[in-house]
């Protein structure tokens, strides 16, 4: 596999702040220092508006910090060629953001196409990836995104992000819009897939259950600041009030069939 060797797989936030646009002094995230080691699955957990998504967008240069820097493979995002950086980082978002005018195969093969892979190689890779995410390439390759269910779209989104074999994967509540049954199914499959892929994964969610299923480490954000950073096994033992609040949400969901 021709992985873009340029982007390595470590991520480091060095005292990063991001100010809201529009000239205000309000900060979306403040004084974030965080290291994501190669091959780990780090889950950013927090309520809506806690700044989780902004941390993802800072990582692939969709946002530029107002203070501090983010190192991807020891190089600041501002020093990277933006395009080169992003081609080495897979990105999956809620509702997948698939291109509605492309077939599933074309969606999945987009980054390899942009990278100028030969056509045969792209076809082989697309077939391989659709199998990997549990979709029959014959049946689904020619379909348009609107002809898929939400869960299938999300599978395509994951396949598309993996297409050029990027060492880093950023996922922003990828399963958030799915029904509980499909969500549980995709979470289980993705947990297995993540172990198999050995990529550096940063996964954003507001669902502690999902975090506990997927994470090797959980970082809890509150109002743009890191309030907890612990290995998965240790997370629930923490005393911080926001951790307790999330833990309480877990027990209140206990009867939830999902």
Partner 1 sequence: MSPWTFLVEHRAEIFATTVEHLALVIIAMLIAILLGVPLGLLIVHRPVLRGIALGVANVFQTIPSLALFGFLIPIPFIGGIGKRTAIVALILYALLPILRNTYVGLTEIDPAVLESAEAMGMTQSQILFRVRLPLASAFILAGIRTATVITVGVATIAAAIGAGGLGTFIFRGVALVSNGLLLAGAIPAALLALAADFLLGIIERRLRVS
Helix/strand/coil for 80: coil
Q: Please report how close the Cβ of residue 228 comes to partner 1 at its closest, in angstroms.
A: 27
Q: Please report how close the Cβ of residue 2 comes to partner 1 at its closest, in angstroms.
A: 15
- Positive or negative, the CA dihedral 188, 108, 170, 256 is negative
Helix (H) or strand (E) holding 218: strand 217-222
Q: In the complex with partner 1, which residue's Cβ is closer, 63 or 221? A: 63
Q: In the complex with partner 1, which residue's Cβ is closer, 13 or 80? A: 80
Q: In the complex with partner 1, which residue's Cβ is closer, 101 or 120? A: 101
**Interacting residue ranges for partner 1, rule: CB under 8 A:** 60, 62, 82-87, 89, 91, 93-101, 110-111, 114, 144, 146, 160, 170
Q: Please report how close the Cβ of residue 6 comes to partner 1 at its closest, in angstroms.
A: 11
Confirm if 177 and 123 have CB atoms less than 8 A apart.
no
Q: What is the rounded distance in angstroms from the CA atom of residue 187 to the CA atom of residue 68?
A: 34
Confirm if 14 and 69 have CB atoms less than 8 A apart.
yes
Q: Of 122, 86, 83, whose CA–CA distance to 2 is shortest?
A: 122
Q: In the complex with partner 1, which residue's Cβ is closer, 107 or 182? A: 107
Q: Please report how close the Cβ of residue 38 comes to partner 1 at its closest, in angstroms.
A: 21
């Amino acid at each position: 596999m021709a992985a873009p060797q340029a982007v390595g797989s470590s991520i480091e936030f060095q005292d990063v702040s991001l100010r809201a646009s529009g000239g205000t002094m309000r900060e979306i995230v403040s004084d974030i220092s965080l290291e994501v080691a190669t091959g780990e699955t780090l889950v950013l957990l927090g309520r809506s508006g806690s700044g989780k998504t902004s941390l993802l967008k800072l990582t692939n240069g969709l946002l530029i910090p107002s203070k501090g820097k983010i190192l991807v493979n020891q190089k600041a995002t501002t020093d990277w060629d933006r395009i080169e950086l992003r081609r080495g980082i897979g990105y999956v978002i809620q509702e997948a953001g698939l291109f509605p005018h492309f077939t599933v195969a074309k969606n999945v093969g987009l980054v390899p196409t942009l990278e100028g892979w030969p056509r045969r190689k792209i076809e082989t890779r697309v077939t391989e990836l659709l199998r990997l995410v549990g979709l029959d390439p014959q049946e689904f390759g020619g379909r348009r995104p609107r002809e898929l269910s939400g869960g299938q779209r999300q599978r395509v989104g994951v396949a598309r992000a993996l297409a050029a074999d990027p060492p880093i994967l950023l996922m922003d509540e990828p399963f958030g819009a799915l029904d509980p049954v499909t969500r549980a199914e995709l979470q289980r499959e993705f947990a297995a897939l993540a172990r198999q892929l050995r990529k550096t994964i940063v996964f954003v969610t507001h669902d502690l259950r999902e975090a506990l299923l997927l994470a090797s480490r959980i970082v809890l954000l509150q109002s743009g600041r890191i309030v907890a950073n612990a290995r998965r096994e240790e997370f629930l033992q923490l005393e911080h009030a926001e951790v307790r609040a999330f833990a309480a949400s877990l027990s209140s969901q206990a009867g939830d069939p999902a």
